[in-house]
């Protein structure tokens, strides 16, 4: 929340979220994401005759529970990949009674865990016999190709 500079009528023109940075890491059996972004709120005041921008850097730390397959663990050789599925956006801006700005931010992150896994493959020993198909017509057509054409 940010304190407004002037105490008369306001009109919010454009709340913008920029410079989103984040990094994922392992913490026990959870995945953590540390990140930050800047919120810029452009507004007009004094009967829309003047404008100004207030900005604030927001830092966050999110922890995710990750459902792992049986016998899987977050060992040291796994990689954590975090992607932004939806960039942070400002959903709404309000003025509180104490003359401060309140805003709602929405973001969507995707977390992937990449590591080694073992796969068991069944091999069948019984192989069905097959017949070779010989097509003499194709061999004749290939012999008739003019190599000087190209």
Domain ranges of the chain: 2-126
How does pLDDT run along the chain (150 residues), one tens digit per residue?
Answer: 445 554 556 778 888 999 999 999 988 778 899 999 999 998 888 888 888 888 999 999 999 887 776 666 666 678 889 999 999 999 988 888 777 888 899 999 998 888 777 778 877 777 777 777 776 666 666 666 666 765
Nearest to 40 by CA among 5, 96, 90, 84: 90
Model's pTM, two decimal places?
A: 0.66
């Amino acid at each position: 929340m940010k304190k407004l500079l002037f105490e008369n009528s306001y009109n919010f023109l454009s709340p913008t979220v920029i410079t989103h940075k984040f990094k994922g890491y392992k913490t026990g059996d959870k995945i953590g994401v540390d990140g930050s972004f800047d919120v810029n709120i452009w507004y007009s005041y004094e009967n829309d005759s003047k404008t100004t921008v207030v900005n604030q850097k927001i830092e966050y730390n999110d922890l995710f529970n990750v459902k792992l397959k049986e016998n899987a663990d977050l060992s040291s050789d796994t990689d954590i990949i975090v992607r932004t599925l939806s960039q942070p956006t400002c959903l709404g801006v309000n003025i509180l009674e104490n003359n401060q700005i309140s805003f709602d931010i929405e973001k969507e992150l995707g977390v992937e865990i990449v590591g080694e896994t073992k796969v068991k493959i069944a091999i069948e020993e019984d192989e069905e016999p097959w017949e070779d198909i010989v097509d003499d017509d194709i061999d004749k057509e290939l012999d008739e190709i003019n190599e000087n054409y190209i």
